[in-house]
Amino acid sequence: MRFLITGGAGFLGSHLTDAMLGQGHEVTILDVASDLKVRHQLGNPQFRYVRDSILNREILEGLISWCDVVYHLAAVVGVEHYVGDPYQVLNVNVNGIQAVLQVAFKAQKKVVFSSTSEVYGKSSVVPFREEGDRVLGSTKIDRWCYSTSKAVGEHFCFAFHKLGLPVVVIRYFNVYGPRLDQMDVGRVITIFLGQVLRGEPVTVVGDGKQTRCFTYVDDAIRATVSAGLKEEAVGEIINIGSDEEICIKDLAAVMVRLSGSRSSLTFVPQEAVYGKSYEDIRRRVPDIRRMREILDVSPQVKLEEGLRRTIDWFRSPS
Ligand code: UDP
């Protein structure tokens, strides 16, 4: 089959590209980012890398008419962007999915939309079920713009589904692994990694009792592949995550131990890291019954094993 993966040069996109090519499919990626994470595929005749914007309509039309299924992963992601450049987040995320759906609708191609656990916001009804309520803060608080942009994207998906387009919405929960952001930036695991590998204090935000369920990238990708192939997934929202919950303080301690670091933990106030325009999520736990039942995928890589692999990779990236 032929897959178009927008955002294919990113963390998830590059792993999805590897998986699809590994299964003998043809893959074209559309991304503005450098080829750093897909460089190892550049000589592969089944692979094509188009470096352009998701908002370039002409390119998008050509690529969507070529493919069988579109995976729309291109987005502006990362806390630093939610609070630093909300305009870019809203512009790319909302107009990107809209453009993909409009073109895919004309061509009648299935769209898999990568959404996020951020959509649930600060809901306290855990585990988060796909049809559960979203609880967001004020629009004066920039951090909610990402959650909102993805929720708008989901609404667009279901609006087009109503018109007859096959769509699947997947919501990722804190996926990590090799090729995640650069060390020291982006998400908590890469920030902690830089600190533990240098033996510096690990910056735990707040009291560190906030929890997440980190999902190893291989598990997330198996579920993602399945979401594009299984007929039963069409028209659904499906959480992609793990149910191994850990608080951030414990995550820091585990990473210190696994890397053999001499780092200590230091507790820093939230405003010092993200500024005032931020609200943290206290508990984020997915209900993964649909992932198991519809996608037929269960998480297999335990957190310690996944962290070990991730630490090894960042020590000597390949
Ligand atoms: N966090 C932390 N120290 C850091 C960076 C992040 O304690 O240096 C915390 C952050 O406050 C949040 C959790 O780690 O509670 C996960 O943050 P991340 O940005 O990775 O993703 P989120 O799940 O919040 O979208």
Q: Six-digit token pair at 115? A: 């959404």
Q: 16 CA distance to ligand 1 centroid (A)?
A: 24
- Of the candidates 200, 177, 160, the one whose C-alpha atom is nearest the C-alpha of residue 18 is 177
- What is the phi-psi region of residue 104: left when phi exceeds 0, alpha when psi lies from -120 to 50, beta otherwise? alpha
Please give the average per-residue pLDDT across 70-74, as a whole number. 98
pLDDT at residue 180 greater than cutoff 70:
yes
- Ligand 1 atom showing the smallest separation from residue 274 Cα: 11
Beta partners for residue 72, in sequence order? 6, 113
Q: 93 CA distance to ligand 1 centroid (A)?
A: 21
Query: Percentage of residues in the chain with pLDDT exceeding 90?
Result: 90
Residue 126's φ and ψ, nearest 5 degrees, are: -105, 150
Exactly one of 71, 82, 120, 146 is catalytic; which is it?
146
Please give the average per-residue pLDDT across 166-190, as a whole number. 93
Tell the residue nearest (CA) to atom 13 of ligand 1: 188
Q: Six-digit token pair at 144? A: 């909610």
Q: 179 CA distance to ligand 1 centroid (A)?
A: 18
Give all strands (DSSP E) within the chain, no chain letters. Answer: 2-6, 26-31, 47-51, 69-72, 110-116, 167-172, 175-176, 202-205, 211-213, 215-216, 237-240, 245-247, 265-268
Q: Assess whether the C-beta atom of 212 lies below 6 angstroms from ligand 1.
A: yes
- With the CA atoms of 302, 307, 313 and 316 taken in that order, what torsion angle do they form, in degrees rounded to the nearest 10? -140
CA–CA gap between residue 43 and residue 311 (Å, rounded):
28
- The per-residue pLDDT of the chain, averaged, comes to 95
Cα diameter, the chain: 58
Please give the pLDDT value at position 205.
Answer: 95
Please give the average per-residue pLDDT across 143-162, as a whole number. 97
CA distances from 124 to 68, 144, 237, 284 (A): 39, 16, 20, 9
- Of the candidates 138, 112, 127, 67, the one whose C-alpha atom is nearest the C-alpha of residue 284 is 127
Domains in the chain, CATH or no CATH each:
2-173+215-241+286-299 (3.40.50.720)
